[in-house]
Chain A
Amino acid sequence: MVTITAEPAAGEEISRRRPRRPRARSRGSRIAYVYILPFFVVFAAFSVYPWLDTAWVSLHDVRLSTYDQQTWVGLANYRNLLTNSFFWNAFRNTVTIGIISAVPQLCIALGIAHLLNHKLRGRTFFRVALLMPYATSLAAATVIFIELFDPRTGLIDWALHALHLPRVDWQGSKWPAQFAISSIVMWRWTGYNALIFLAGLQAVDQELYAAAAVDGAGKWAQFRHVTLPGLRPTIIFAIVVSTIGSAQLFGEPLLYSPQHLPDGGTQGQYQTLGLLMYQQGWANDRLGLASATAWTMFVIILLAVLVNLLIARRRQRRA
């Protein structure tokens, strides 16, 4: 659509050699609005409207069963949330599971991408293999991991036992449970991130490596001084996406619970914000409080992404 509407105008402008007039573009622009309208209609119906409605509901005392009886409570739900031990527990769990899963995941992905960027026998096979976990259904993957981490019959505890190490309660103890969930996340997303990094790597000018090699840089020095700076935008993208993903973590901990309950273990040891929101809304029937949690999560994600970007920008300036 760009070519059809914009090109004659552009040709005209070049021949006359004078700045574009806004009016000359408005007809094309109007057609463009028609083209993008379907997206924005869907966006408005499934994103903007739910956002606004959620905000509205979060200011009311609402139960699912009595949805038509909403009582205005102002910011009481937010006050309740911020003074609520369940919220802070879920917040801490979300942060720790996010860190345990995202940091190793991105580092490993970077390493794999670096390796796969070399000429390697069976490179396509490895690249496809990397994407397999991502293409596997979350439920199927989690079921396998539950079996692996089963405290009675799991392969991992069996191996620990064989090595004369103490058995670990992967379900009931806080850190092992969080680690187990992080491992599911890592398993699923490392390959995906590696491919993103690989795409970024292939955009890095190969002559820079040659030049660095001529200057006497070894593999590690090349990685640090050519690969990393070249990949910066890609890395920032991956970090931002992982941050958003971590903050919304829901399916893995829900399915990891033996009865698929949203309470994140009997002591809430792996309840994330996503699970808490679900529990408040669907198990406890309190839609107002759940909506407040949803909006608080939204703000937390915005803040986390902003912090990411600020750090990235500052480093960029320094570099």
Chain B
Amino acid sequence: MRLRGTRRRTAASMLALVTAGALSLAGCGSSSDNTSDSAGGGASASAGPCGTTKPTTLTVGLYGTFGFKENGLWDAYKKVCPNITIKEDDVEQSADYWTKLKTRLASGSGLDDVQGIEIGFVGDVLANHADQFVNWQTVPNAAADKAEFYPWKWNMATTADGKDTVGLGTDTGPQSICYRADLFKQAGLPTDTATLTKDFSTWDGLLNLGKQYEASKTKPEGSSFIDSVNSIFNAAVYQGTEAYDDDSGQPDVANSDGVKNAWKIATEAAQDKISAGLAQWGPDWNKAFSSGTFAALACPTWMMGYIQGQAGDAGSGKWAVSPVMPGGASNWGGSWLGVPKASKNQPAAIALVEWLSNKGNQVTMWTSPSQGGHWPSNSQAAADPSVSGATSTYFSGDPIGQIYSKIANQMKIPPIGQYDTQIQSDINTQLTNVETKGTSPSSAWSAALNAIKQVTG
């Protein structure tokens, strides 16, 4: 059967098109209406400490390992608020999580009652979506909430005009160096606190230890000093007055003192050949935690959790934490919890987030036996003797509480921006080329700037 008459065919396809168009428009329209409706909800103090007395299910969108479930906080909350059921909505990689969250924020639908916000994209949330999250400066407990946190942690989640705070802090990432004490000993490197305090106090000192390790005849065959020069770069970049952005949060990579200095140290490390050249977060890197392909890496507190996850029980007692951080105290990473205004259970969600970030629970997150290195962002929790007095058998009995609290108290925090994650990833790619392919630092640098321009536009 042949169809003649193009006019009719055109009409039919036009009809189909218009129908489809109308359907999709209707879809978008209704969802954004919902957002603005529920925004007026607000928290009511009369509903008690759980935000509501009705049976309620709260969905919590998280990435990676926040550790609330692992450290028993969900079970504990069930006792505090028996009417609240918590459902985690997990995505493994924070980058995938962020893409998903962005899509949901753009469409205004599908958001969880509580959403994790990572330091890598809090800049974007502040610049573009602050109005979609509950402002923690206007919740009933605002003043008490604010008083709990390190001021820089609170400010990092606050818009440039200072009027809107999108999340309450969970963990932060004061950094040191984690190293394999057994491999250090085998290679004849010092492992006593006094010598390491001196040797690890500067990046030059670290590079010298690296050269010593590489020159050692007794180190295990195929083992390198550090995992990747990116480990050095990603740690050192936050030691400048600027990292990737200027004060107004605009990308300023080419002029940043942090980037320049970190690039210099990292490329020096590449030329000294003290690195295993493994792609961080790649499968080979993961395997190397147990195989001993490298002996040290930059170690924000959360990395201690990652090490234990990768190296397992067999690594217990082999790892240790440097008493000081080369080049000065700095922070890498950390997260917040925000409540989207689209949430239909705002008061309950606000109550949950306040409970999770309170002193007692942040202390639990750091001191619990299955802890994943969640250093408190609640400054009262950080000052608690059980936090600063913590030691770790996994990390050779080192006084990790004392080491990290000293670093946390001295940290300088450079401004953050919208594209930090992508910028860091582009720079890391080029540093990998320098260390594994012998690309010259200058051509790698221009390649990095070129790639960053693709992101910033």
Question: Which residues in A have some Cβ–Cβ distance to B below 8 Å?
Answer: 2, 5-6, 22, 28-29, 32-33, 37, 40-41, 43-45, 48-49, 61, 64-68, 84-86, 152, 172, 258-259, 261, 263, 266-267, 280, 282-286
Bound together, the chains give a CA A86 to CA B450 distance in angstroms of: 9
| Overall SS of chain A's interface | helix
- Quick one: which of B24, B105, B283 contacts A49, CB cutoff 8 A? B24
CA distance A61 to B279 in the complex (A): 33
- List chain B residues, Cβ under 8 A from A64: 99, 102-103, 106
Residue of A61, A65, A66, A152 ringed by the most chain B CB atoms within 10 A? A65
Closest chain-B Cβ to A78's Cβ sits at a distance in Å of 15
Q: How many residues of B contact A (CB 8 A)?
A: 45
Contact B437–A48 (Cβ < 8 Å): no
Given the contacts A40-B16, A45-B20, A45-B24, A286 and B457 also touching, CB distance less than 8 Å:
yes
With both chains docked as a complex, state the minimum distance between the C-beta of B238 and any C-beta of chain A, in angstroms.
22
* A45 vs B18: C-alpha distance when bound (angstroms): 9
A152 engages B106 (CB within 8 Å): no
Q: Mark B1-26, 1 if CB is under 8 A from A, else 0.
A: 10111001000110011011101100
B283 touches A86 (CB 8 A): no
Are A65 and B12 neighbours in the complex by a CB distance under 8 Å? no
Given A65-B129, A258-B283, A259-B279, residue A44 in contact with residue B17 (CB < 8 A): yes
Chain B residue, CB-CB nearest to A84: B454
Q: Counting CB contacts under 8 A, is B252 at the interface?
A: no
What would 17 more interface pairs be, CB under 8 Å, given A259-B281, A266-B437?
A32-B3, A37-B12, A41-B19, A44-B17, A48-B16, A49-B21, A64-B102, A65-B106, A259-B282, A263-B429, A267-B439, A267-B447, A280-B454, A283-B422, A285-B102, A285-B419, A285-B422
Point out the residues of chain A lying under 8 angstroms from B5, CB to CB: 22, 29
- 8 Å CB contact of A29 from B3, B16, B24: B3
A-B pairs with lowest CB-CB distance, top 5: A45-B20, A44-B16, A67-B106, A44-B20, A258-B282
Contact across chains for B20 and A49 when beta carbons are under 8 A apart: yes
Chain B 213-265 residues near chain A, CB threshold 8 A: none
Measured CA separation A259–B99 after assembly (Å): 17
Q: Any chain A CB within 8 A of the CB of B284?
A: yes
C-alpha spacing A280/B422, complex, angstroms: 11
Query: Would you give 11 A-B contacts (Cβ < 8 Å), ordered by A?
Result: A2-B1, A28-B1, A45-B23, A48-B20, A65-B418, A68-B106, A85-B450, A86-B451, A152-B284, A266-B429, A266-B430
Contact of A282 among B99, B105, B281 (CB under 8 A): B99
Q: Which of B16, B128, B425, B450 contacts A65 (CB 8 A)?
A: B128
